Amino acid sequence: MKYLRWLLYPFSLLYGLVVVLRNWCYNAGIFKSKQFDLPVIAVGNLDVGGAGKSPMTEYLIRLFKGDFKLATLSRGYGRKTTGFLIADTNVNSSAIGDEPSQFKSKFPDVTVAVAEKRVEGIEQLQKSHDLIILDDAYQHRAVTPGFSILLLDYGRIHEPRLLLPAGNLREPYSGRKRASIIVVSKCPANLTRDDQFDIKVRIKPVAFQLVFFTSISYMPLQNMDETASSVIIDDHTTLFLLTGIANSAPLLNHLKSQTTHIIHHKYPDHHQFTLKNISKLADDFLACTSQKKIIITTEKDAQRLGEQELQQVIKKLPILVQPIGVEFLDDQQKQFDKLVTEYVREYRKHRPLH
């Protein structure tokens, strides 16, 4: 792998030059970046792939939805539509993307919108909302958010900080300086204070940045209709795992702690499942002779299983969904909540609650 990195390194230099020039143009005011008069929180990361942006966005939704009229705004990666679109409860992932579809499914009373041009999206939403949460928008410099949460994947902390395509960075590591706070995600639940200190040294936050540490909280399994499941997994269970996410390793490790019999149907991030894919899963499942067998997928993948052409096969399979959440280590949640809440509440006097 290291030899491949060296071969790709010249292309990373070229990519980095373009990104650095772009960021410089925004910093110098040559490219315009708009700031809004309502609270805008951006959630994002520096790497390609999943760092836990969706669980963090959902955490913020839960934190604020009782007090503010809020909206989430995403690009809607992988959707078949274009332009600004507000989701209704009947919309599917092909129209708005899998993550926004997941948000709308879990929080039907919250406004979920998508737009390639986030400035135009915010201009539409600010008329009737008190707070906007931008999902996966750290590199979207056309908007200057009031508060930025930068997620760093614990599993990649010690990787070489190389730009695409030799490495995984979307922009130079110096881009971390724009963040209001840094959250190290997907940490082991037993990460010690000494380990946290060492990671902070590695991260090198700037003076004003606080660093928080979170782990994945695995919630009880659900049926596809989001009702609770009574299934108990043990080592007599043969588990078929269906994923189309950037990093399935944490989920796989979690499930391995319950059963050693796992058959993984793994696809790329945001993969649009085809009838052929699901038929293969069904054939493998039916061919399995285990007396106790189930299929598990992620919440994001479950959104892409809702396509009409798949339903004839899907409805015959015992598919369960593994919801996840965010859990702060060492009682850091109170401080995190206080920081983001104080930022949002500064706008109370300017924008009355609905």
CATH number for position 82: 3.40.50.300
- Which tokens hold the place of 321? 């969904």
Confidence of residue 91 (pLDDT cuts 50, 70, 90): confident
Residues 230, 177 share a domain? no
Residue 354 covered by a domain: no
Q: Is the pLDDT of residue 347 over 80?
A: no
**Please, which residues have CB within 8 angstroms of residue 151's CB and are 6 or more apart in sequence?**
43, 44, 45, 51, 52, 53, 56, 182, 183, 184, 185
Structural domain of 175: 2-217+327-345
Domain check: are 194 and 256 in the same one? no
Q: Is the model's pLDDT at 37 over the cut of 60?
A: yes
- Tell me, yes or no, whether 95 lies in a domain: yes
291 and 240 assigned to the same domain? yes
Q: 109 with 69: CB under 8 angstroms?
A: no
Position 353 confidence tier, pLDDT thresholds 50, 70, 90: very low
Q: Please give the pLDDT value at position 145.
A: 97
Do residues 116 and 254 both lie within one domain? no
- The structure tokens listed for 166 are 């030799």
Give the mean pLDDT of the chain.
94
Asked if residue 242 lies in contact with residue 234, where contact means CB atoms within 8 angstroms, the answer is no
- The per-residue pLDDT for 332 is 98
The domain that holds 246 is classified in CATH as 3.40.640.10
> Does 158 lie in the same domain as 68?
yes
Q: In this structure, is residue 129 part of a structural domain?
A: yes
Residue 280 and residue 333 in one domain: no
Find the Cα–Cα–Cα–Cα dihedral 20, 23, 27, 33, rounded to 10°. 170
pLDDT at 351: 53
Tell me: do 233 and 306 sit in the same domain. Answer: yes
Q: Residue 90: which pLDDT band, with cuts at 50, 70 and 90?
A: confident
- Specify the range with the lowest mean pLDDT, choosing from 1-5, 23-27, 94-98, 258-262: 1-5
Q: What is the pLDDT of residue 92?
A: 85
Is the same domain home to 267 and 310? yes
Could you read off the pLDDT of 214-262 as tens digits, one per residue?
999 999 999 998 899 999 999 999 999 999 999 999 999 999 999 999 9
Backbone angles phi and psi of 122, in degrees to 5: -65, -40
Do 161 and 22 lie in a common domain? yes
User: What number of helices (H) and strands (E) belong to the chain?
Assistant: 11, 14
Does any domain span residue 351? no
pLDDT of residue 49: 79
Mean pLDDT across 281-301? 97
Per the structure, the count of domains in the chain is 2
Residue 248 located in a structural domain: yes
Query: Is the confidence at residue 79, as pLDDT, over 60?
Result: yes
Q: Please tell me the predicted confidence (pLDDT) of residue 12.
A: 94
Say which amino acid occupies 157.
I
Q: What is the DSSP string of 190-222?
A: T--HHHHHHHHHHH---TT-EEEEEEEEEPPPE
In a domain, 352, yes or no: no
So what's the pLDDT on residue 348? 59
Q: Same domain, yes or no, for 197 and 262?
A: no
Note the pLDDT of residue 350: 56
What are the pLDDT digits (tens) for 42-55?
Answer: 999 999 878 999 99
Residue 311 lies in a domain: yes
**Above 80 in pLDDT, residue 1?**
no
**Of 271, 301, 295, 269, the residue nearest 282 (C-alpha):** 295
Q: Let me know whether 15 and 164 are in one domain.
A: yes
Q: For residue 323, is pLDDT > 60?
A: yes
187 and 227 in a common domain: no
Share of the chain above pLDDT 90, in %: 89
More confident residue, 308 or 255: 255
Instruction: Sort strands 131-135 and 70-74 into parallel, antiparallel or unpaired.
Output: parallel
Alpha-carbon distance 338 to 336, whole Å?
Answer: 5
Assigned domain for 262 exists: yes
**Per-residue model confidence (pLDDT) at position 204:** 97
pLDDT band of 5, cuts 50, 70, 90: confident
> What is the model's pTM?
0.94
The pLDDT confidence band at residue 343, using thresholds 50, 70 and 90, is very high
Whether 349 has a pLDDT exceeding 80, the answer reads no
